[in-house]
Amino acid sequence: MPIPLLARGFQEGISSIPYAWTVLKVVPWVLLVAALKYYFGGARNGSERLMHSKVVMVTGGTSGIGASVVHELASRGAQVILLTQHAPSDVFLVEYIEDLRKATKNELIYAEQVDLSSLHSVRTFATKWIDNVPPRRLDMVILCGNTAIPSSATRQLTEDGLDEEWQVNYLANFHLLSILSPALRVQPSHRDVRVIFTTCSSYIGARLNLQQIEAASTPGAGAGASKASRGTKNSKNGKKTGAGSKKPQVSLFGASKLALMAFAHSFQKHLNAYERPDKMPPCTRVIVVDPGFSRTPGTRRWLTGGSLWGLLLYLLTWPFWWLVLKSPQQGAQSILYAAMEAKYGRGTGGWMVKECQEVDFARKDIKDEEGGKLLWQFSEKQIELKEKEGAVKRALANKEQQERENQKNNGSSSTKSAAKEQTPGSRRSRKVNK
Ligand SMILES: NC(=O)c1ccc[n+]([C@@H]2O[C@H](COP(=O)([O-])OP(=O)(O)OC[C@H]3O[C@@H](n4cnc5c(N)ncnc54)[C@H](OP(=O)(O)O)[C@@H]3O)[C@@H](O)[C@H]2O)c1
């Protein structure tokens, strides 16, 4: 059919073919869109690795890029432990895991409640993990948990009184890995253990001034800090309340990503410095991954500014975002590459991956030993202080609760006895009067 048509076109001219000019006008545009889509879709992971029996711990595995990574690894047979802020009984979580198990034909998918905006929650989980005897198998930790507050939105503070972006994106990861470090070091030397951090290009322009971060991340605690009251977690609906304060002067999102990368570098050094009892070289390698801009719930929330008007604008301009942003599956490719590429199972670790290839850090200060040490000390101090405050708050709350219960019990028993005593003409009162 096309050959006779083409032949006719050659003999009698293009105009003799119906709609030929229209097709010729449209085709270049279609090709252009296809080429742009292919370009913005980024590189695809071509590495394969047997994931059966591998134990993979994932933060942020319930949505966006993390969910795609989890789906891929679970399909390959990995045992997945989702660290999520939701309670195990949460209907959404239960359904999500059921669907995932069905879709990946893998029953080994579990969830543990770890709210990255609570240092106590992170400690509770991590200490439970390392207290296990014999030590539990752990092949990989993938850190996709993230929050990005739209610039127009009210600043959010965690229950620890810290800036949410700083705590969820950086401090909670520091806390988690600091506690889990013995569990990583204790893995047999033949095991290929990987810790994958996810970052974003916003680290390139970020500033990591610890004094400024101290003031900005703990409003009310330092010089230049916001005077606004602290937001707390609403115990009834579990939602965090905004502090109602101005945005901090430094971008804490960018700073949290830069700090995370500097910590990733120091963490690799810390792991490598450990002398194993069997005198074998360390088997845990750290890889930092930039997945690239993707259409995830987090990006959508950031682009829409969390408002209805923003959402409407986003929907109207959706074809543009569809073209220039990766899908979550495409965003997951570099993480999957870092998780599966054989060469990252050897060597001293501390690499960065972008578009499924190894790249250098765009900031030289990430590898600064002195800066890394200061950041480590700063983070430890911040956690110590906030954990102490949290412990006092919890103890006071428990005491109040206890007192209320005691009062309730005493009240009910005294009313009961009073009622018994005051019943006129009763057998008890006649006995007492005798
Ligand atoms: N998307 C992009 O354009 C892009 C670009 C560059 C880099 N990255 C990086 O890629 C990673 C994943 O990004 P994404 O866009 O997929 O993120 P996302 O859509 O915002 O998802 C974030 C995940 O973190 C979880 N999370 C948030 N707060 C938490 C908390 N307090 N405790 C426990 N979990 C919490 C969320 O859980 P829930 O499901 O319960 O909300 C969700 O699963 C991030 O590190 C991000 O910086 C993303």
Kindly give the number of the ligand 1 atom that is closest to the alpha carbon of 201. 6
Nearest atom within ligand 1 for CA of residue 298: 20
Q: Does residue 257 have an active-site annotation? A: yes
Catalytic residue among 102, 233, 257, 367: 257
- pTM here is 0.88
284 lines ligand 1 (CB under 6 A): no
Quote the pLDDT of residue 225. Answer: 37
Tell me how far the alpha carbon of residue 260 lies from the centroid of ligand 1, in angstroms. Answer: 14
| Other Cβ atoms within 10 Å of 320 Cβ, number | 10
Cβ(118) – ligand 1 distance below 6 Å: no
Closest CA to 154 of 250, 255, 247, 217: 247
Please choose, from the candidates 263, 242, 253, 241, the residue with its C-alpha nearest in 3D space to the C-alpha of residue 217.
253
User: Kind of pairing, strands 55-59 and 79-84?
Assistant: parallel
DSSP-assigned beta bridge partners for residue 58 = 82, 142
Cα R_g (the chain), whole angstroms: 28
Is 62 touching ligand 1 by the criterion CB < 6 Å?
yes
For helices 64-75 and 91-104, angle between their N-to-C axes, nearest 10 degrees? 40
What is the reported pLDDT for 95? 97
Identity of the residue numbered 410? N
Q: How far is the CA of 411 from the centre of ligand 1 (A)?
A: 49
Distance 299 CA to ligand 1 centre (A): 9
DSSP letters, 272-321, are: HH---TT-PPP-EEEEEEE---B--HHHHHHHHTTSHHHHHHHHHTHHHH
**Cβ-contact 70, 99 below 8 angstroms:** no
- Report how far apart the first and last C-alpha atoms of the chain are (Å, whole number): 119
Q: Which of 141, 296, 302 is the pocket-test mutation for ligand 1 (most atoms within 8 Å of CB)?
A: 296
Which tokens is 176 given?
């988690």
Please name every residue paired with 126 in a beta bridge, in sequence order, or none if there are none.
none
pLDDT score of 45: 97
Both structure tokens of 165 = 């972006």
Domains of the chain: 55-291+326-388 (3.40.50.720)
Burial class (CB in 10 A: 0-12, 13-18, 19+), 185: middle
Cα 153 to chain center, whole Å?
20
Counting as low any pLDDT under 70, the low residues of the chain are 1, 220-249, 412-434
Three-state secondary structure readout of 393-413: HHHHHHHHHHHHHHHHHHHHH
Per the structure block, which two tokens stand in for 355? 């578009």
Nearest CA to 124 among 108, 132, 113, 133? Answer: 113
Quote the pLDDT of residue 155. Answer: 81
Ligand 1 centre and the CA of 120: distance in Å?
20
- Could you tell me which of 36, 42, 34 has the C-alpha nearest to residue 333? 42
Sheet harboring 79-84: ordered strands across? 109-113, 79-84, 55-59, 140-143, 193-198, 284-290, 351-354, 357-359
Q: Which of 213, 224, 299 is nearest to 256 (CA)?
A: 213
- Dist CA 347 CA 337 (whole Å): 16
- Which tens digit of pLDDT belongs to each residue from 330-389? 999 999 999 999 999 999 999 999 999 999 999 999 999 999 999 999 999 999 999 999
Structure tokens at 21: 């000019």
